[in-house]
Amino acid sequence: MVELLSGGEMIARALEDEGVEYIFGYPGGAVLHIYDALFKDCKVPHVLVRHEQAATHAADGYARATGKPGVVLVTSGPGATNAITGIATAYMDSIPMVVFSGQVQSHLIGEDAFQETDMIGISRPIVKHSFMVKKAEDIPVMIKKAFHIAATGRPGPVVIDIPKDITRPDEKFEYHYPRSVKMRSYAPAQRGHTGQIKKAAKLLVSAKRPIIYAGGGVIQGEGSDLLTRLARELNYPVTNTLMGLGAFPATDRQFLGMLGMHGFYEANMAMHHSDVILAVGARFDDRVTNTVSKFCPGAKIIHVDVDPASISKTVPADIPIVGPVQAVLEELLAQLATIREKESDLPDQGALERWWKQIDEWRGKHGLWTGRRYGESKMIMPQQVIESLYRVTDGDAYVTSDVGQHQMFAAQYYRFDQPRRWINSGGLGTMGFGLPAAMGVQLAFPDKAVACVTGEGSIQMNIQELSTCTQYNTPVKIINLRNNYLGMVKQWQDMQYEGRYAMSTYEDSLPDFVKLMEAYGHVGMQVTQLSELDAKMEEAFAMKDRLVFLDIIIDPMEHVYPMHVAPNGSMKDMWLSKNERT
């Protein structure tokens, strides 16, 4: 029997049929029919955030941790515009997300009606695609298309804008949710070009100074296992981008750490001196390459990406391969096996040995994990906090972060052995991302340890979500690296503006975070001494059912190093400390 449902009911039912686990949202006039349908009959739980930006970040955190699209529901006008920052965040990092935004009634569109905004227009440059619903009958197919587009190819956010009259309860339509959709205008690559992959395999085994440069695409494309296998079979060094951390196990000897602006010395040096770079799911972003014209002068580049527009965008590829990471790596492994059956002396083991010797030398000299590379101080150093977090959580936590120095310290010092554990806003650099993202992760994995590494600047950008954490019992652990400055701004002001701290301090205006936590029903603890750091960290994580906020007073003078020398520097030009550079 065919079911008759209203537009609002179809949305609720389609979300069930799509297997959605959580809706993150905030009600308002234009979406009340939908909310009523959710209330009456929908098995998908709804998480009421305190600000629509947080809904998108929570859905984003959920999506990054699970690999499934995050789902957001907001009202028209301010609800929609508040969601924009989160949509842009997801877009820049290629995160699958479906955002339902309410719209004023069809006949009012264009009349500057109450809470009207052109959501399709405003979101256009920051979505993978968007739909405006014109007829309620179109809803099931449109939702299926939205999830399909969001999650396939290079993932990204999709907006569905729904005028209120489309969802009215008194008009019912036949409901049938399609199992799949086919679109003549959308067909992401399913596999790489075999000829190109053969060429890549040949170049790869002929390398004398190879390096594998893996980005977020390896994680999004579920290619971590294959990448790890490939790297181990060849015994080639691996560096991950900020977005790619966890794509290759950080504790593996072959891992050189993150590369780029705040990348590891050995990773940046190895990149610069390499003769063959295998770039997988990475996009040669300006935070990686430093000056493009000086980028890795002796390297031939194999670039694998599912998005053709990412290839040769900034750095030209010698062997471009368009295709999903998994399919391409599988074929590449097969090609390598074929070559090595015939030519068992490849790759050149002598050359590889010399290359590793050189890398180990770099690693021994300035590697962040091979010795203490930060200053002595009476105060707690931020790096020590991350090391403590790593110890106490056995390297097994989900770590979200905000944006700034704390983000870089977390990326450098927490060693991610698994994909989807490191959750941060890499492309857009959105302060205020960490806490709502942690909520989304904790809801996806209620029994796992979830830490949000933040600073007193970032945390205040979405601090209202502490209330959401109370309502839904998401016992995340907030690690506040508190230096009483906007730390990364201060670092740049130190380095380029002779220490003029233009508007980068709060003076005495910060709240008492411990009391604030108590006001929300959470636990707050301040840590000022290194001697109590581990104990407080353990105490926090032992409180499995409570949100704990560790307000850790750190040395405000510390900078993040290494740091690329700019402008006009190459990969190998780095500041290693305040007065030491390569």
Partner 1 sequence: MRRIISMLMENEPGALSRVVGLFSQRGYNIETLNVAPTDDPTLSRLTLTTAGDDKQIEQITKHLNKLVDVVKLVDLTEGAHIERDLMLIKVRAQGVLRDEVKRTTDIFRGQIVDVGPNVYTIQLAGTSDKLDSFVAAMADVDILEVVRSGVAGISRGEKVLSL
Residues that bind partner 1 (CB under 8 A): 120-121, 124-125, 128-130, 132, 149, 183-186, 307-309, 312-313, 316
Q: Which is nearer to partner 1, 316 or 350 (CB)?
A: 316
Q: Which residues of 249-288 are buried (b: 16+ CB within 10 A; e: fewer)?
A: bbeeebbbbbbbbbbbbbbbbbbbbbbbbbbbbbbbbebb
Q: Which of these is catalytic: 128, 164, 490, 536?
A: 164
Strands 276-280 and 300-305: parallel
Q: Which is nearer to partner 1, 192 or 382 (CB)?
A: 192
Contact (Cβ atoms closer than 8 angstroms) between residue 494 and residue 575: no
Q: Which is nearer to partner 1, 118 or 222 (CB)?
A: 118
Q: Helix (H, G, I), strand (E, B), or coil: what is residue 514?
A: helix
Q: Which of these is catalytic: 115, 358, 460, 526?
A: 115
Look at the block and give the residue holding tokens 């001697």.
531
Q: Which of these is catalytic: 9, 18, 52, 456?
A: 52
Q: Is 21 designated active site?
A: no
Q: Is 114 designated active site?
A: yes
Q: Is 358 designated active site?
A: no
User: Tokens representing 439?
Assistant: 């909520």
The torsion angles phi and psi of 50, rounded to 5 degrees, stand at: -110, -5
SS3 content of the chain, % helix, strand, coil (to 5): 40, 20, 40
Q: Which is nearer to partner 1, 184 or 500 (CB)?
A: 184
Categorise residue 44: left if φ over 0, alpha if ψ from -120 to 50, beta otherwise.
Answer: beta
Q: Which is nearer to partner 1, 141 or 543 (CB)?
A: 141
| CA distance linking residue 15 with residue 68, whole number of Å | 13
Bridge partners of 3, per DSSP, are 175
Smallest distance, partner 1 to C-beta of residue 483, A: 36
Smallest distance, partner 1 to C-beta of residue 109, A: 11
Contact (Cβ atoms closer than 8 angstroms) between residue 232 and residue 222: no
Q: Which of these is catalytic: 16, 111, 114, 183?
A: 114
DSSP string, 184-226: TT-----S--HHHHHHHHHHHHT-SSEEEEE-HHHHHTT-HHH
| CA distance linking residue 288 with residue 299, whole number of Å | 15
Q: Which is nearer to partner 1, 216 or 569 (CB)?
A: 216
Q: Is 164 designated active site?
A: yes
The torsion angles phi and psi of 48, rounded to 5 degrees, stand at: -85, 110
Smallest distance, partner 1 to C-beta of residue 186, A: 5
Q: Which of these is catalytic: 258, 381, 431, 488?
A: 488
Contact (Cβ atoms closer than 8 angstroms) between residue 225 and residue 197: no
Q: Which is nearer to partner 1, 44 or 120 (CB)?
A: 120
Q: Which is nearer to partner 1, 307 or 494 (CB)?
A: 307
Smallest distance, partner 1 to C-beta of residue 467, A: 36
Smallest distance, partner 1 to C-beta of residue 124, A: 5
Smallest distance, partner 1 to C-beta of residue 177, A: 21
Q: Is 172 designated active site?
A: no
Smallest distance, partner 1 to C-beta of residue 129, A: 4
Smallest distance, partner 1 to C-beta of residue 306, A: 11
- Contacts of residue 483, defined as CB under 8 A and 6 or more positions apart, other chains included, come to 382, 405, 455, 456, 490, 553, 554, 555, 556, 558
Count of Cβ atoms closer than 10 Å to residue 502 Cβ? 9
Supply the residues annotated as catalytic. Answer: 52, 114-115, 164, 488
